[in-house]
Chains A and B, each alone.
Chain A
Amino acid sequence: MKEENIKKLVQESELEPSEDFLANLMVAVEQQPEQGRDFRWIFILALFAFLALAGCVLALIRRLIEQGELRGVPIDLSPIAMRVGFIVLVLIIGHKLLLLGQKIQAIRPLTTFSQD
């Protein structure tokens, strides 16, 4: 059989879905939850900024404990007070980060579909 005849026959086998298919589909699409924007990157950015800040503060505390001065300015603070201050700072910022994470989760509807 000629190639073009096969093509013609195969094209004649084309089928059409029922008339209400499109209407049903559009209803199904309308019912899909709106896909929220993904703001997780803000959380990740904030987390890295927090880690960087904590690292800097930790380095500063260590330097103050070892040298007792910063750029020639003597700073007389007890090491325990500095460590406690650091822990309090970490707890406050950590709490704020947690709140930020929860907010991002809340504004992003659970519409992460599997990529099948």
Chain B
Amino acid sequence: MPKPSDQDLLQRIRDGDKRAFRELVERYKNVSFTLACSIVKDEQRAEDVLQDAFVKVFKHLKSFREGAKFSTWLYRIVVNAAYTAIEKEQRHRARQEEAPAEFMPIEEEAIFSKLQQHERKKLIQEVFKKMKEEEALLLRLYYLAELSVNEIQETTGFGASKIKVGLHRARKSMLVHLRREMGDELKQLI
């Protein structure tokens, strides 16, 4: 049986079918969660952001334009919710400067298991945590959510040139972080 399109699911949700909403969440939760993590850098907080974003989606579904791309709309809500969460926290929390993650030494046992599959995934996720939020977000919007530059513009509100330059810098930054983490093993990895 073919998967229902986003528009079908949205129509079913509008008709009061909560299972359709569940299906829609299942479809987008991982990419949305990863985008939120790129900004808030903490999985628990990212989950709160995501919950907030999906509740907003549910509430504002009627204001969603028919024919528009749902994923772009959703990701914009997720990105906005994540930035709002950061702002709120900055306002309420005393400024505590965390030690810059770039200089954290890699744990010894992690070095030995680097090439194991799940460790490798973990390592890549660590690299993304250490990257600047904007760079991590751009890379993930482009390569993971597979949005075009125009769609990223819609999602983030950044200008096209900022996105292109940002993507270029992000690629370089990812490589620098990977090299720092893996040294010569990077060649085997990619």
A→B interface (CB under 8 Å): 1-2, 5-18, 21-22, 24-26, 28-30, 32, 35, 111, 113, 115-116
The interface residues of chain A lying within 8 Å CB-to-CB of B190 are 1-2, 5, 8-9
**Could you tell me which residues of chain B, from 42 to 69, have a CB within 8 Å of some CB in chain A?**
43, 46-47, 50-51, 54-56, 58-60, 62-63
B125: min CB distance to chain A, Å? 5
Residues of chain B touching chain A, judged by Cβ–Cβ distance below 8 Å, are 18, 21-22, 25-26, 29-31, 33-34, 37, 43, 46-47, 50-51, 54-56, 58-60, 62-63, 80, 84, 120-121, 124-125, 127-128, 139-140, 142-144, 171, 174-175, 178, 190
Q: How far is the CA of A111 from the CA of B56 in the complex (A)?
A: 12
A6 and B22 contact, CB distance less than 8 A? no
Contact of B171 among A6, A14, A22, A111 (CB under 8 A): A6
CA distance A5 to B18 in the complex (A): 39
Residues of chain B within 8 A (CB-CB) of A29 are: 18, 21, 54-55, 58
Q: Report the separation of the CA atoms of residues A18 and B37 in the bound assembly, to the nearest whole angstrom.
A: 13
16 other contacts beyond A9-B124, A18-B43, A35-B59, with CB at 8 A cut-off?
A: A1-B175, A5-B190, A6-B143, A11-B143, A15-B33, A17-B46, A21-B29, A21-B47, A22-B26, A22-B29, A25-B25, A25-B55, A28-B51, A29-B54, A115-B60, A115-B63
A36 to chain B, nearest CB (A): 12
Q: What separation, in Å, do the CA atoms of A71 and B59 have in the docked complex?
A: 58
**Bound state CA distance, A116 and B30, in angstroms?**
23
Q: How close is B68's CB to chain A, nearest CB, in angstroms? A: 15
Inter-chain contact B128/A13, CB cutoff 8 Å: yes
Q: List 16 A-B contacts (CB under 8 A).
A: A6-B143, A9-B174, A9-B190, A10-B140, A12-B120, A13-B125, A13-B128, A13-B140, A16-B33, A21-B47, A25-B25, A25-B50, A26-B22, A28-B55, A113-B60, A116-B80
